[in-house]
Amino acid sequence: MDKHFYITTPIYYVNDVPHIGHAYTTIACDVLSRYKRERGYKVFFLTGTDEHGQKVEKAAQANGETPLELADRVVKRFQSLWDKLDIDHTDFIRTTQERHKKAVEEIFRRIETKGDIYLGEYVDWYCTPCETFWTETQLLDGNCPDCGRKTDKLKEESYFFRMSKYQDALLRHIEENPEFIQPRSRRNEILSFIKEGLRDLSISRTTFNWGIPVPGNDKHVIYVWFDALTNYISALGFPDDPDGNFKDFWPCTAHVIGKDILRFHTVYWPTFLLAAGLPLPEKVFAHGWWTVEGQKMSKSLRNVVEPNMLVDKYGVDAIRYFLMREVPFGLDGDFSHSALVHRINSDLANDLGNLVSRSTAMLNKYFAGVLPESGPVDEIDQTLSQKFADTIPVVDKQMDDLAFNKALQSIWELVSAANKYIDDTAPWALAKDDTQKERLGTVMYNLLEAVRLIALFTTPFMPTTGQNIISILGGDPDAIRDDALFEWGGLQAGTKIDKALPLFPRIEAD
Ligand code: MSP
């Protein structure tokens, strides 16, 4: 049976332009998708944009355009950034698309038919910037407990979802599925929130228009989070499922999100699904937030890190590598130019870059660039290939845990092992002795085979670099989607391998 893997990013609001935080989640999902494809999975990787709601309506008004005009304009910025960051998503969902609207209406109707949606009256405090409702007791000095800004008191006719009815089922699900909320430290936060008691949730608004009308009562538009969360199934083709994607890919393997939107994904979304009689996602993983040079990123501080600029300056692979390597996924991290330059110089230029250039240069010098046969293997060769074999299941597990920084550490242990193999076997000494020609051939074969496997492991993180190396080794960069390719011995003797140009020039600190 085919192995399926479905991963999603949050859908991004179009009232803001993309920044490093958005790029972070999207790159992480791309890395994992690419890795899973290499390991033989059928992957569906979804990203998109969240285009309805009062925030977008207001931002459009302020710009003198319609909400859809604003959305069309900002969506292009997201899409061009994803191209620039080498994001290989399967689909891009926009909540203004007809296919999405159909799915939202259907899930609303299913829950309503079940008797879990009713019309009532709603008094609450609403934080517009966060699109979040708070009860009076949750407010801090009358302000939003998340962002500290002022909230508005609202009283209006509203449809309610009987979320309270699903409190016990949800608690049981979280308790029985320790993998459901990750990292584990975030589970307790959600468990205690649920144990405080779930209220019914207001899921419609009459105070603005920019949204999907409630089926059968178009005075109301559907609450933006009810609308937005449904993207994860509308993109698969729910409810009609014309391509069978819903059948093949739901439930989702992982929703990857930032820690600020965990509650929506682990309380609201699963209760909607329970009520609609649909299976719950396998896991929700909340990553941390980036600060910039020690400060919170904000428009007013003018320190928002613009990913396009970073890519122009340092190159896409260096940025992808840095974001995945620098901070354990799940913890907060700080972005600084000096840390980035340090990583590029030490890990990329020094460790990886030198390995590739030394290996290919020696092959050209000693064998005119034609890969020799591997002769009888010594213990030192055996140790090297064993280390690679042992690392595969380790990296598999680290990737399943979304422990990207650990996976890169494991991969860099391979880079060090290969560099050390050069020092220990000293090919330059073997080259001086004609009787050692066969031994030199074996060493060069093993060394370039190590480089090939390192390229396979690094491709999901740094697609251009990885594919570059594979092309230099005479392999087909598009053909790297087969488990067997991770087995030692994939390189063919006789292959012509050119000398590699430097992959990552060193950067002098400003
Ligand atoms: N539209 C909602 C999500 C709906 S999903 C059904 C939304 N959009 S957002 O554009 O405001 O945020 C998207 C993601 O960006 C969130 O996961 C958030 O955590 C992330 N980040 C925003 N700023 C960030 C940092 N400074 N650092 C890391 N991630 C950050 O929420």
- Ligand 1 atom nearest residue 231's Cα: 6
Q: Helices 316-326 and 307-314 meet at what angle, rounded to 10?
A: 110
pLDDT tens-digit profile of 317-376?
A: 999 999 999 999 999 999 999 999 999 999 999 999 999 999 999 999 999 999 999 999
Contact 257, 286 (CB under 8 A): yes
Per-residue pLDDT at 297: 82
pLDDT number for residue 171: 98
Long-range contacts of 140-146, Cβ-Cβ distance < 8 Å, separation of 24 or more:
146/260
The 3-class SS string of 386-454 reads: HHHHHHHHHHHHHHHCCCHHHHHHHHHHHHHHHHHHHHHHCHHHHCCCHHHHHHHHHHHHHHHHHHHHH
In tens, the pLDDT along 8-43 reads 999 999 988 899 999 999 999 999 999 999 999 999
Provide the token pair at 446.
């093993």
Give me the pLDDT at residue 112, please. Answer: 98
Question: Which residue, judged by its Cα, is nearest atom 16 of ligand 1?
Answer: 258
Query: What is the CA(494)–ligand 1 centre distance, in A?
Result: 50
| Collapsed DSSP state (helix, strand, coil) of residue 201 | strand
Kindly report the pTM of this predicted structure. 0.94
Helix (H, G, I), strand (E, B) or coil at 503: coil
Cβ neighbours, 10 Å, residue 445 = 22
In the numeric block, the tokens 């459009």 are attached to: 60
Residue of 8, 13, 104 to mutate, ligand 1, most atoms within 8 A of C-beta: 13
Residues of the chain with pLDDT under 50: none
Burial class (CB in 10 A: 0-12, 13-18, 19+), 278: middle
Atom 30 in ligand 1: which residue has the minimum CA distance? 21
Q: DSSP states of 66-98 as a string?
A: -HHHHHHHHHHHHHHHHHHTT---SEEEETTSH
C-alpha–C-alpha distance, residues 90 and 69, integer Å: 25
Instruction: Read off φ and ψ for residue 153, nearest 5 degrees.
Output: -80, 130
Neighbours of 499 (CB within 10 A): 15
Pairing of strands 201-202, 91-94: unpaired
| Pocket of ligand 1 from Cβ distances under 6 Å | 10-13, 16, 21-22, 24-25, 50, 228-229, 231, 257-258, 260-261, 289-290, 297
Residue 136: both structure tokens together: 């009076």
pLDDT value, residue 355? 97
Which residue of 17, 29, 50, 93 sits with most ligand 1 atoms within 8 Å of its CB, as the best mutation to test the pocket? 50
How far apart (Å, rounded) are the C-alpha atoms in residues 492 and 445?
Answer: 9
Q: Which strand (E) or helix (H) includes residue 122?
A: strand 117-127
So what's the pLDDT on residue 482?
Answer: 61
CA 257 to ligand 1 centroid distance, Å: 7
**Residue 101: predicted pLDDT:** 98
